[in-house]
C-alpha cells in the first residue's frame, strides 16, 4: 500500500503527460465541416482547387484527375466527397477534407457530365463515346449498370446530354443525336427500368430539372423551342414550350453551347438562354408561355439565379465572353454590366447569395464579387479555371 | 546584288531573271508564313484549343463536335477544311469563323490540325 502511495507522484506525472500529448495531437486535427467548401476546376492541368467561401481562400489542390476540359462534378450527400467528371471519360472521387484523390477510373472514351442518385448511393455518367450512361457505386466506383443509348433500327449510339437525378431514385437524360428523353428507374440498380420518349425535337443540347424535381426541360439546338416533361404526369408525354421563339429570323452563329443547368427561377418566372439570339427568354411556369425576353450582350451561356431569385447573372459565348450582365428579375432589366476579364467561363453563388465567384480563364484568376454592390472583394490565382462548384449543391435536386 | 553577279560572271539582265526564279516562288511561300506573325499564331492556337476546344475537346479528341486529331484530318481535302472553318456547316452546330479568321489563317489552322496539335 505504502508503495502505491509513494508512486503516486510518478503515476500522476505519467497520466498528465499522456493527457497533454493527447490534447496536442487532437489540436493538430482540427475538426471542421464541409458546408462552406467548394471545388474549382483547372481545366488544362488536370487539377482541382479546394476553396473555402467563408474566408475566400484556397485550402489545397488535388492533382492527377486527367483531362478536365468541360469538367463538372456532383457531391456526396454528406458533402465530404466530390465526384469529378472529366472529358476523356475519367471519374474521380475527391476527399474534400483530406484534399486527396480517393479513386479514379476511366469509364469511357469521352464523357460530358453526371449526376448522383436521390439516395446518394449511385453516381451516373453521361457519355458521348460510347454514347450512353454508366452507373457506378458512389462508395467504390464499381460499375453497377450500363445503359447504351442505342436508337433507330441499326442500334447506333447517341451522345447523351442533360443527365440529372430525379425524385423516385431515377436518372433522366437526353439523346443529342436521337432526339429522345429517357428515364432510368434505378430501384433495382443493376437492372434499370427505362422509359423512352421519342421524337422530342432536333438536337437537344442540354436539359434541366426544376428544383422541385417535377419538370424536366430540354433545350433544342436544331429548332426554336424547348420541350418539357411533367414527371408527375408522364402520360401527357413531352410538350413544346415557346415553339418558334426565333420568329423565323436567321440564327446568329453559336460559338459555345449554352447550359441549362444552373437555370434561373424567380417566383413563377423561369429564365433561359435563347439559341442563336442574343436574348434571355422568360417563361411563365404557370402556363409555360413566353413572359418576355431581354436583349443581352451576346449569346448567353449560363443564366443563373442568385439563391434568392432576385438577380440573374448571365455570361456569354465567344467573342463576348469578357462580359457579365446582371438582370433584375422583377423589372426584367439589366442593372449591371461587368467586364471581369477575358473568358469568364463560369459563375457560382455562395449558398445564400451574398457573393458570386467567377472564373476568368484567360486571366488565370477567380474573382469574388459582392452581389449587392457589384464590387470585386478579392481574387485568387488559378490555372485556366473553368467550373466552380460549392458543396451546397449536394442537397439540390438536379445538381 | 551586283557584287554577287560579278562573281558569277553573269550579266545584270540574267541576274534579274535569276532573281525572279529564286525569289518569286520563295516569296509566295514566305509571304504566307510572314503574314501570320508569331503573336497572331499564338492567338490562333489559343482560339483552336480553347474555343474550338469547347466543342471538339481541348486536345481535339472530340466532344459534341467530332474529333479533329491528325488521324481524322490528314485525309480530308485542305480546301474543304478551310471552307468548314470559314463558313461552318449549315444545319449543324459548326458556326462560321470568318469574322475572326482570314483565309491564310484558316489554311494555317488546317496545316496545324493535319500535322496534329501534339506533334508540333
Q: Residues A114-163: pLDDT tens digits?
A: 999 999 999 999 999 899 999 999 999 999 999 999 999 999 999 999 99
For chain A, which domains are there?
107-254 (2.130.10.10), 257-339 (2.40.10.480)
The residue with greater pLDDT, B44 or A265, is B44
For residue B99, which residues of chain A lie inside 8 Å, CB to CB?
A: 319
- Is B5 or A64 the better-scoring residue by pLDDT? A64
pLDDT surpasses 80 at A12: no
Give the three cell numbers for residue A60. Answer: 489545397
Of B46, B63, B93, the CB nearest to A87: B63
* CA–CA separation, A306 and A265 (whole Å): 9
For residue B93, give the nearest of A221, A319, A362 by CB distance: A221
Report which of residues A180 and A245 the model is more confident about: A180
What is the structure's pLDDT at A6?
59
pLDDT in tens, chain B (120 residues): 444 444 444 454 555 554 544 444 444 444 455 579 999 999 999 999 989 998 998 889 888 899 999 999 999 999 999 999 999 999 899 999 999 999 999 999 999 999 998 765
Q: Do A69 and B53 touch (CB under 8 A)?
A: yes
Q: What is the pTM of this model?
A: 0.86
Q: Where are the alpha helices (DSSP H) in chain B?
A: 2-8, 12-35, 38-46, 53-56, 70-73, 78-87, 103-115
The yes-or-no verdict on residue A381 having pLDDT over 80 is yes
Asked if residue A325 has pLDDT above 50, the reply is: yes
CB pairs under 8 A between A and B: 61
The residue in chain B having the minimum alpha-carbon distance to the alpha carbon of residue A109 is B61
A45-61 confidence digits (pLDDT tens): 889 999 999 999 999 99
Residue B3: inside a domain: no
What residues of A are in contact with residue B96 (Cβ under 8 Å)?
A: 253
Length of chain B: 120
List, as ranges, residues 16-55 from A with C-beta within 8 Å of B: 43-44
Instruction: Please give, rounded to a whole number of angstroms, the shortest distance from the CA of B91 to a CA of chain A.
Output: 7
Number of domains within chain B: 1
Taking any CB pair shorter than 8 Å as contact, residues of chain B touching chain A are 46, 50-51, 53-55, 57-59, 61-64, 88, 91, 93, 95-96, 99-100
Q: Is residue A256 scored above 70 in pLDDT?
A: yes
Strand order across the beta sheet in which A100-106 lies:
A72-75, A81-85, A90-95, A100-106
Residue of A nearest to B88 (CA): A253
Measure the CA–CA gap between A38 and A28, rounded to whole angstroms. 23
- Establish if A101 touches chain B: CB-CB under 8 angstroms: no
Cell of A58: 484556397
Rounded to the nearest angstrom, the minimum Cα separation between A253 and chain B is 5
Yes or no, beta carbons of B64 and A257 under 8 Å apart = yes
**What is the value of ipTM here, to two decimals?**
0.80
pLDDT at residue number B5: 43
Query: A78-87: string of b/e by CB count within 10 Å (b at 16+)?
Result: ebbbbbbbbb
pLDDT digits (tens, 9 = 90+) for A183-197: 999 999 999 999 999
Reply yes or no on whether the pLDDT at A11 is more than 60.
no
Instruction: From chain A, pick out residues whose CB is under 8 angstroms from the CB of B55.
Output: 256-257
CA distance A27 to chain B (A): 44
Contact A263, A251 (CB under 8 A): no
CB contact under 8 A, A69 and B91: no
- Any domain includes B106: yes
Q: Which pLDDT belongs to residue A149?
A: 97
Contacts of A129 in chain B (CB under 8 A): 62
On whether residue B30 sits in a domain, the answer given is no
> What pLDDT does B27 receive?
46
Write the CATH number for B80: 1.10.760.10
Classified as helix, coil or strand, A323 is coil
Confidence of residue A17 (pLDDT cuts 50, 70, 90): low
Residues spanned by the domain of B81 = 38-119
Residue B14 covered by a domain: no
Q: Are A75 and A391 in contact (CB under 8 A)?
A: yes
CB B94 within 8 A of CB B83: no
Give the number of other CB atoms < 10 A from CB of residue A381: 11
Closest-approach residue (CA) in chain A for B52: A255
Work out the mean pLDDT of chain A and round it to a whole number. Answer: 91
pLDDT score, position B8: 46
Give the pLDDT of residue B59: 87
Amino acid at each position: 500500500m505504502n508503495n502505491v502511495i509513494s508512486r503516486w507522484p510518478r503515476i500522476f506525472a505519467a497520466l498528465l503527460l499522456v493527457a497533454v500529448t493527447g490534447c496536442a495531437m487532437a489540436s493538430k486535427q482540427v475538426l471542421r465541416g464541409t458546408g462552406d467548401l467548394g471545388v474549382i476546376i483547372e481545366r488544362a492541368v488536370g487539377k482541382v482547387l479546394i476553396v473555402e467561401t467563408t474566408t475566400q481562400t484556397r485550402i489545397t489542390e488535388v492533382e492527377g484527375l486527367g483531362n478536365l476540359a468541360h469538367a463538372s462534378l456532383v457531391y456526396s450527400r454528406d458533402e465530404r466527397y466530390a465526384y469529378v467528371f472529366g472529358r476523356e471519360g475519367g471519374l474521380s472521387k475527391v476527399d474534400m477534407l483530406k484534399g486527396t484523390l480517393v479513386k479514379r477510373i476511366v469509364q469511357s472514351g469521352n464523357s460530358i457530365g453526371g449526376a448522383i442518385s436521390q439516395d446518394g448511393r449511385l453516381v451516373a455518367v453521361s457519355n458521348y463515346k460510347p454514347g450512353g450512361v454508366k452507373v457506378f457505386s458512389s462508395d467504390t466506383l464499381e460499375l453497377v449498370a450500363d445503359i447504351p443509348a442505342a436508337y433507330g433500327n441499326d442500334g447506333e449510339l447517341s451522345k447523351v446530354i442533360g443527365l440529372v437525378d430525379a425524385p423516385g431514385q431515377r436518372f433522366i437524360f437526353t439523346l443529342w443525336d436521337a432526339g429522345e428523353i429517357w428515364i432510368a428507374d434505378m430501384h433495382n440498380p443493376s437492372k434499370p427500368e427505362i422509359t423512352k420518349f421519342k421524337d422530342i425535337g432536333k438536337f437537344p443540347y442540354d436539359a434541366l430539372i426544376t428544383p422541385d424535381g417535377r419538370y424536366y426541360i430540354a433545350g433544342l439546338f436544331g429548332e426554336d423551342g424547348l420541350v418539357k416533361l411533367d414527371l408527375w404526369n408522364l402520360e401527357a408525354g413531352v410538350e413544346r414550350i415557346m415553339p418558334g421563339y426565333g420568329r423565323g429570323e436567321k440564327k446568329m452563329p453559336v460559338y459555345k453551347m449554352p447550359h441549362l443547368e444552373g437555370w434561373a427561377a424567380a417566383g413563377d418566372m423561369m429564365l433561359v438562354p435563347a439559341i442563336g439570339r442574343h436574348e434571355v427568354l422568360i417563361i411563365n411556369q404557370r402556363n409555360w408561355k413566353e413572359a418576355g425576353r431581354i436583349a443581352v450582350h451576346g449569346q448567353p451561356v449560363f443564366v443563373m439565379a442568385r439563391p434568392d431569385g432576385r438577380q440573374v447573372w448571365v455570361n456569354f459565348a465567344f467573342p463576348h465572353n469578357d462580359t457579365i450582365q446582371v438582370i433584375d428579375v422583377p423589372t426584367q432589366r439589366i442593372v449591371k454590366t461587368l467586364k471581369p476579364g477575358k473568358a469568364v467561363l463560369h459563375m457560382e453563388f455562395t449558398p445564400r447569395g451574398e457573393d458570386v465567384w467567377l472564373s476568368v480563364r484567360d486571366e488565370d484568376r477567380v474573382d469574388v464579387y459582392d452581389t449587392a454592390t457589384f464590387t470585386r472583394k478579392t481574387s485568387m490565382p488559378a490555372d485556366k479555371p473553368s467550373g466552380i462548384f460549392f458543396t451546397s449543391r449536394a442537397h439540390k435536386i438536379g445538381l | 546584288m551586283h557584287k554577287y553577279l560579278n562573281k558569277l560572271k553573269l550579266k545584270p539582265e540574267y541576274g534579274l531573271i535569276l532573281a525572279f526564279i529564286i525569289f518569286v516562288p520563295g516569296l509566295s511561300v514566305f509571304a504566307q508564313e510572314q503574314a501570320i506573325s508569331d503573336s497572331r499564331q499564338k492567338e490562333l492556337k489559343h482560339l483552336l484549343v480553347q474555343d474550338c476546344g469547347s466543342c471538339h475537346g481541348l486536345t481535339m479528341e472530340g466532344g459534341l463536335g467530332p474529333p479533329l486529331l491528325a488521324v481524322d484530318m490528314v485525309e480530308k481535302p485542305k480546301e474543304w477544311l478551310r471552307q468548314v472553318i470559314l463558313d461552318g456547316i449549315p444545319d449543324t452546330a459548326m458556326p462560321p469563323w470568318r469574322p475572326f479568321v482570314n483565309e491564310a489563317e484558316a489554311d494555317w489552322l488546317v496545316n496545324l490540325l493535319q500535322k496534329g496539335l501534339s506533334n508540333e
